[in-house]
A and B are shown apart, each in its own frame.
Chain A
Amino acid sequence: MNARVDPTPAKPTAAPAASIKTMLLQHPLLRPLAALLLLLVLDAALVPGFFRLEMKDGHLYGALVDILNRAAPLMLAALGMTLVIATRGIDISVGAVVALSGTVAAMLIGGASDDAPMGMALAASMGVALLCGLWNGALVAGIKLQPIVATLILMVAGRGLAQLLTDGQIVTVYYKPFYFLGSGYLAGLPFSLFVVAAVFGMTTVLMKKTALGLFIQAVGINPVAARLAGLRTATLIIFVYVFCSACAGLAGMLITSNIKSADANNAGLLLELDAILAVTLGGTSLAGGKFSLMGSMIGALIIQTLTYTIYSLGVPPEVNMVVKSIVVFVVCISQSGEFKQLIKRRPA
């Protein structure tokens, strides 16, 4: 469950019961999990049949599956964003990369018979995403632009390029096999969930089984000391931006496949902000350093569940943003150290 990189190796046998309790209570994932559970309980009370799952034609249907499926692109984006934020950076070009990679995939696949084979189209789409990440990374690590400014360039340029490629039109994909990515089912579950699970699993293994997690934290916490300890700080920073863009590229493919078309104007719009939010909700500090991949996953689910709740309660869409901001405010406040101290001081 816990994906926090390099946790204290637990020695449950030696620890007395009381300390296990405090460990659980102080667990960094406690708050995001509690927030998610609270939302789910609220849904269960307000939405009839919220937890009901049923098999139809070998597919699992239900609100929970729906939330997971819709959260998939955000979860991917949040995974990438987590590592960028861990290095004290930020990437606000995620939405633009989603649009660009989706556009490239859709245009290459198209629907006519002489179009590029799907594998090649997807590879090209991923290639474009990787190039985007390389660009961001080079600006941040090479030219030492502030991350928010560096990625702002691509945020504007990426979507603009996508719109140029499509003449501002929506590109529809007619090639059926491509639909499988974003709306297909495998073993009864949406295929996109397997994509997310695979990326999450691979990233977790990468962070835990190699020294990457330690290095990313070290660079995020103290880049000067990290360099003097012999880390390739620039390479590491470029890597996290490339990784973030790759995740965004995958998210772009999922979204394009799901809506069977590439919409350069709207695909992935503001996804970067939701991703940053998901990371923050998951307990990773924007100041860099320690990060939690699982936390970001839960953060993404909180955001998606919230959206679902608002819609299913029949709240008008225009209220959506306001409600979302209030919930985010409450969750963030509850994680703020200053706020906790304020509360603690009161009774004293």
Chain B
Amino acid sequence: MVDAQRPVLEVTGIHKQFPGVKALLDAGLRLYPGEVHTLMGQNGAGKSTLIKVLTGVYQPDGGSIMLNGQAIRPRSTQHAQDLGISTVYQEVNLCPNLSVAENIFIGRYPRRLGMVDWRSMRRQASELLKRLQIGVDVSKPLADYPLAIQQMVAIARALLVESHVLILDEPTSSLDEAEVQTLFGVLRRLREEGMAILFVTHFLDQTYAISDRITVMRNGEREGEYACAELSRLALVNKMIGAPAEAQEAATETLANGQAERGEVFLRARAIARKGVLAPVDLELHRGELLGLAGLLGSGRTETARLLFGADKADSGGFEVDGRQVGFSNPRDAIAQGIGFCSEDRKHEGAILPLSVRENLILALQARQGIWRAIPLKRQQQLATDYVKWLGIKTASIETPIGSLSGGNQQKVLLARWLATEPGLLILDEPTRGIDVRAKQEIMDYVSKLCRKGMSILFISSELPEVLRVSDRMVVMRDRKACGEYRRGELDETSVLRVIAGEGA
């Protein structure tokens, strides 16, 4: 173990509160020189908040950060970098139209007689990249190179400032397999040089491929710190999601709706795939059936949903609706076939904030009817009033801007937006995220009621107990692939966790 050494970075007892939310309660982290340390946790576990505290974006409310035995408090990203903590973000934030060398040296151009010393800059840049065993022409614009190389340039830039700590925040989410391997090669070389690397990712395979140790976060706290070799995948997922014992209790009170009448296949997707996003997936959605899609974030759940709705176009594979071949190249095509989609990103992909509850609610129906066949105002008001009543939407009136409603009520309005189109298939991507328990319950109850009336539902959620509770059938996804399909009652939570973790059922 590396414990004999002194940690280069030791973070203890960090807490951070945002209005209404305790983002970090007691977050901690120990980072040793010459290790790749992976930070894992579910969405909302506090990973990104912790990273932002380390890089000076947020100021913690309490706790200590020790770098090489000295207490530090990064005030800004610049300050953090000066202290020796460099960060490479998920989206490369470099200047694509400047040369590779300029990107590495930006703001720190080597000077000679008051002028930029271009020759020395290019030489040093080449040497840096050679150290990473990346052979590129440093005088070419950055945009000429693929994303992976751009990421290496970002890393090279971090090396230039004599960093002690390199933080990689989900660097692999937009890279393909070969590019990931190149990146890992670089990380291994840096590790040999004694760099302390903090790696944030959602991908289990990658975690095990590169990490020495793992810190798991849950609910804003450090759940634990483990040597990678001593922690099984199952144990890891368990620790991320929480103790299975309590979860099982929730799972046992399944919905008392009996087995819903499972009807004909409504939508059949054959080997739909999208390069770098999703490996080929087969799915069948029956009328009157609630299909759950489980898996960790980044496992391909949302990506599958977006292909099914035409929000992204599938590179390959085909769709059948009621046995007819169809193609979805945009959401309109899918809507025309009777498909609705509630996005996981309510604020950016769902609600149109300054518009009223009524306008938000009729939008999809009106879009399907087209511009000319305007829904009469009376009918709009009727629809809005009805859905406000049926779904128990708490709003001052149907003319209130949707932005002034609570998250749960906004979600109900968006649900109503699709219900108003009377879809054959409704895709719900994390419909219960960030809303209170009661609204959660109400939404799920309503959804399963619809299902019993013959609607097909695809339900995506990070909360495994919830998926287990409502699904008639469940598909588990891992690492951008579907890796198992189970009927209700076939699996308990622990075995699902095992599948999610990739240890076989």
Contact = CB atoms under 8 A, between A and B. Distances in A.
Given A227-B331, A228-B331, A211 B349 contact: no
B372 interface: yes
A226 interface: yes
A88 interface: no
A221 interface: yes
A217 B355 CA distance: 8
A222 B353 contact: yes
B84 interface: no
Given A221-B354, A228-B311, A232-B332, A6 B371 contact: no
Given A217-B355, A218-B355, A230 B374 contact: no
Given A224-B348, A229-B364, A215 B371 contact: yes
A290 interface: yes
Interface in A183-224: 209-212, 214-215, 217-218, 221-222, 224
A230 B364 contact: yes
A47 B363 CA distance: 51
Contacts of A231: 363, 367
B366 A211 contact: yes
Given A215-B367, A218-B363, A224-B349, A210 B372 contact: yes
- Of the candidates A217, A225, A228, the one having the most CB atoms from chain B within 10 angstroms of its own CB is A228
B218 interface: no
A316 interface: no
B343 interface: yes
A8 interface: yes
Contacts of B309: 228
Which of A212, A225, A226 has the most chain B CB within a 10 Å cutoff? A225
B352 interface: yes
Contact of A210 (B343, B351, B374): B374
A289 to B, nearest CB: 6
A230 B331 contact: yes
Nearest to B334: A230
Contacts of A212: 371
Interface in A288-305: 289-290
A337 interface: no
A83 B202 CA distance: 43
* Size category, A interface: 20 to 34
Q: Max chain A CB contacts within 10 Å: which of B330, B335, B341, B373?
A: B330
Given A214-B359, A289-B354, A290-B354, A229 B377 contact: no
Contacts of A224: 348-349
Name the residue in B341, B349, B363, B373 with the highest tally of chain A Cβ atoms < 10 Å from its Cβ: B363
Contacts of A221: 352-355
B350 A225 contact: yes
A115 B476 CA distance: 75
A321 B159 CA distance: 55
Interface in A211-269: 211-212, 214-215, 217-218, 221-222, 224-232
Interface residues of B, number: 34
Contact of B349 (A6, A228, A230, A232): A228
Nearest to A216: B371
Nearest to A232: B332
Contacts of B331: 227-230
B332 A222 contact: no
Interface string B359-386: 1000110111111111101000100000
Nearest to B418: A229
A9 interface: yes
- Listed residue (A6, A9, A211, A229) with the most chain B CB atoms within 10 angstroms of its CB: A229
A230 B399 contact: no
Contacts of B348: 222, 224-225
Contacts of B268: none
B417 interface: yes
Contacts of A290: 354
A28 to B, nearest CB: 12
A230 B335 contact: yes
B63 to A, nearest CB: 34
A229 B363 contact: yes
B259 to A, nearest CB: 33
Given A211-B374, A230-B331, A225 B311 contact: no
A9 to B, nearest CB: 7
A122 to B, nearest CB: 27
Contacts of B381: 9
A226 B335 CA distance: 13
B334 to A, nearest CB: 8
Given A210-B374, A229-B367, 8 more contacts: A221-B355, A224-B349, A225-B350, A226-B352, A227-B330, A229-B363, A231-B363, A289-B354
26 contacts: A6-B356, A6-B359, A210-B371, A210-B374, A211-B370, A211-B371, A211-B374, A211-B375, A214-B366, A217-B355, A217-B359, A222-B352, A224-B349, A225-B349, A225-B351, A225-B352, A226-B352, A227-B311, A228-B343, A229-B331, A229-B363, A230-B332, A230-B364, A231-B363, A232-B332, A290-B354
Interface of A: 6, 8-9, 209-212, 214-215, 217-218, 221-222, 224-232, 289-290
Interface of B: 309, 311, 330-332, 335, 341, 343, 348-356, 359, 363-364, 366-375, 377, 381, 399, 417
Give 7 nearest A-B pairs by CB, closest first: A230-B367, A230-B335, A229-B364, A229-B363, A8-B399, A211-B374, A211-B366
